[in-house]
Structure 1
Amino acid sequence: MERSVLGTSGIRVSRICLGSATFGVAPDATSAGAMVGAALDLGIDFFDTADVYGSTPTFDRPGLPPAGERESAEEILGRALVGHRDDVVLASKSGERRFDATAGLSRRYIAQQVEQSLRRLQTDRIDLYYAHFPDPSTPLEETLAAYDTLIQQGKIRSVALSNHAAWQVTQALWIADDRRLASAPVAAQVQYSLLHRKAERELTSACQKFGLSIVPFAPLHGGLLADLAVLERPVAGDERYGGSRFDDREVAVARALADLADDWGMQMQHLSLAWLLAQPTVASVIVGAETPEELQANASATDINLTAEQVAHLSALTADLAD
């Protein structure tokens, strides 16, 4: 498994990261433990989670305990990593306010949440700690100062921003530099795929300029960029989370990608992931596989070396989405 360095942190991570957003749901808690073991066997040493993953109403499913009664993804992941903690890079997040009006990025909330995450993850430190979403009610100076304290205490190693705009990333860097803080962000997590290229409008350029890494989530766009069979499922795309199904443009791009995969003798998910990994700012790509077999198929994308012409051809499929 190839590795890369996260921004200026010096932290080396596998180029495939196992995401745990649906741990406890799909896969269930037992299967999630097997998934972590499969990831370690494949050389994946980067794991992504958050304080709200797995146990919120977003992931309610028939036959499962309701939100609040399920184990959180952090608990499941922490248990699965017992005995392996020193061998992995662990990322978590806090600050999502959809399910908790008291959440955010205030000093008090961050201090409370990091302690809870450490307990659930059964660890004494988090390697990469994300601000999950911007918090307009809290000055960014306060947030970064809180992270700086946690770094000094050894509870987190590096800071990152998730779902933040380029100007917010730049502002955070300026504040950290101006105040000589150790909490300058080293990475940005954002939705990024052949079908979601808004990051290229400003964020990728800002990250490249200032030396941050990008860690994309939803790289296969709900599975559409991995297998056209997803179109036959009764619930697909963002319908899984109360959103909309794939639109005609997305389906057309997926069919074109499938044709290219046939022409080039490759698999769709390999093209999708290899295209992302070829982007200069991308350090690692988060995959949310549901079975060890699916994870292995995704992980093997790191063995694909696309030519510059192939990368350009793939980019041209959705060039308008980057404008």
Structure 2
Amino acid sequence: MQYAILGSSGIRVSRISLGTATFGVAPTAEHTDRLIGEALNLGINFIDTADVYGNMPVFDRPGAPAAADREPAERLLGRALRGRRDEVVIATKSSGIVGHGVNDRGLSRRHIIRQVETSLRRLETDYIDLYYAHDPDPDTPLEQTLAVYDDLIRQGKIRYVGLSNHPAWQVTRALWIADDRRLNAPVAVQVKYNLIDRAAERELAPACAQFGLSIIPYAPLHGGLLADLGVLKRDVVGDQRFQGMGFPESEIAVARTVERLSHEWGHQPYQVSLAWLLSRPAVASVIVGAETPDELRANATAADVQLEPAQRDALTALVNEPAAFEHRAGDGPE
């Protein structure tokens, strides 16, 4: 496994990180320990979760427990890491809807403190390494959100701060506020980013490269399309757009080219797609939502794949114009 420095934190994280959004579905609660154990064996020390992961209906599928019957991913992760917690860098998040109350969401001081305490209990730990604002909150001043994060760092409950799904102007403003008020500044951003969906390259990636923040992409294989064209036959339930179904022909054409080039180069499409993303400016680690140890072992090999400049250029040229960035309002799942 290869490692990279996370922003200005000084800590090293594995270039492949494990995502937990589907924990409880795939892997099931009974198989979570095995997947976490394999991640540690592979040298993966960076695990991504959130307070809403594990029991979201969008990940329902045949044969899996219903969302209401599943445990939170944080709880499954905490149980699997008993006795090994200090071996990993845990990233979690808040701002999503976690209840029926009008204040059960957002980035207010009240909600953040409540969710940090909830996450600490579930994870069976007394600190969180990286804590993200999951989505922008238009109802809470950014100054308030950054101030409570700073308080939590001083209390030792979180170590570093990140921003997820925030456009470049908000990331830049957060850095300005932190500098002006002498607060702990964000060290990383999380955003959807892959060979097909490259909206982050318009403004966010240059801003992160300029200011020294790491980019941690999610959906690096574009819903599985860049891993294996067999995804087009996948049977899913729930929000198919979120699951990555209903791909337009233009995206399928890109995936077919990636598949052809990968085989010509002696690699698998998932290796080439992840290796390309890891070569992009400011990208420190990519989050893979592996469902089995075999899938995780396969994805982990991408960290050691070194593409030639001409190969990287050929892949980059497949999508010439990144789409415009559309930030989310904070009322949906990652």
Supply the distance in 2 between the matched residues of 1:258 and 1:72 (Cα, whole angstroms). Answer: 35
Query: For residues 250-270 of structure 1, what are the alpha-carbon distances to aligned partners after superposition, in whole Å with 9 as ceiling and x for unaligned?
Result: 110010111101211111001
Provide TM-score, normalisation by structure 1.
0.96
Supply the distance in 2 between the matched residues of 1:10 and 1:238 (Cα, whole angstroms). Answer: 38
1:293 alignment partner in structure 2: 294
Tell me how many residue pairs correspond in the alignment.
322
Is contact 1:5-1:13 (8 Å) kept? yes
Kindly provide the amino acid, as one letter, of the partner of residue 154 in structure 2. Q
Question: Match of 1:157, SS?
Answer: strand
CA shift for structure 1 position 232: 2.3
Q: Does 1:114 align with 2:140?
A: no
Counterparts in 2 of 1:112 and 1:288: CA distance versus 1, 3 Å: same
Supply the distance in 2 between the matched residues of 1:20 and 1:81 (Cα, whole angstroms). Answer: 13
1:75 alignment partner in structure 2: 75
CA shift for structure 1 position 70: 1.6
Supply the distance in 2 between the matched residues of 1:237 and 1:306 (Cα, whole angstroms). Answer: 36
Supply the distance in 2 between the matched residues of 1:17 and 1:180 (Cα, whole angstroms). Answer: 31
CA shift for structure 1 position 56: 2.4
Counterparts in 2 of 1:201 and 1:307: CA distance versus 1, 3 Å: same
CA shift for structure 1 position 62: 4.1
Supply the distance in 2 between the matched residues of 1:35 and 1:65 (Cα, whole angstroms). Answer: 18
Q: Does 1:15 align with 2:15?
A: yes
Supply the distance in 2 between the matched residues of 1:18 and 1:25 (Cα, whole angstroms). Answer: 15
Comparing 91-100 and 101-110, the one that deviates more: 91-100
2:228 alignment partner in structure 1: 227
CA shift for structure 1 position 97: 3.5
Is contact 2:222-2:244 (8 Å) kept? no
Is contact 1:129-1:158 (8 Å) kept? yes
Give unpaired runs (5+ residues) of structure 2: 325-334
Question: Match of 2:24, SS?
Answer: coil
Is contact 1:222-1:237 (8 Å) kept? no
Is contact 1:236-1:245 (8 Å) kept? no
2:140 alignment partner in structure 1: 138
Supply the distance in 1 between the matched residues of 2:80 and 2:139 (Cα, whole angstroms). Answer: 36
Supply the distance in 1 between the matched residues of 2:206 and 2:323 (Cα, whole angstroms). Answer: 12
CA shift for structure 1 position 307: 1.2
Supply the distance in 2 between the matched residues of 1:239 and 1:291 (Cα, whole angstroms). Answer: 21
> How much identity, in percent, do the aligned residues show?
63
1:281 alignment partner in structure 2: 282
Question: Match of 1:7, SS?
Answer: coil
How does 1:62-101 map onto structure 2 within 5 Å? Answer: 62-97=62-97, 101=102
2:39 alignment partner in structure 1: 39
Kindly provide the amino acid, as one letter, of the partner of residue 51 in structure 2. D
Counterparts in 2 of 1:59 and 1:237: CA distance versus 1, 3 Å: closer
Counterparts in 2 of 1:17 and 1:263: CA distance versus 1, 3 Å: same
Give unpaired runs (5+ residues) of structure 1: none
Counterparts in 2 of 1:67 and 1:238: CA distance versus 1, 3 Å: closer
Q: Does 1:57 align with 2:57?
A: yes
CA shift for structure 1 position 192: 0.3
Provide TM-score, normalisation by structure 2.
0.92
> What value does the CA root-mean-square deviation take over the aligned residues?
1.8
Supply the distance in 2 between the matched residues of 1:308 and 1:236 (Cα, whole angstroms). Answer: 40
Is contact 1:224-1:237 (8 Å) kept? no
Counterparts in 2 of 1:197 and 1:238: CA distance versus 1, 3 Å: farther
2:166 alignment partner in structure 1: 164
Supply the distance in 2 between the matched residues of 1:322 and 1:70 (Cα, whole angstroms). Answer: 35
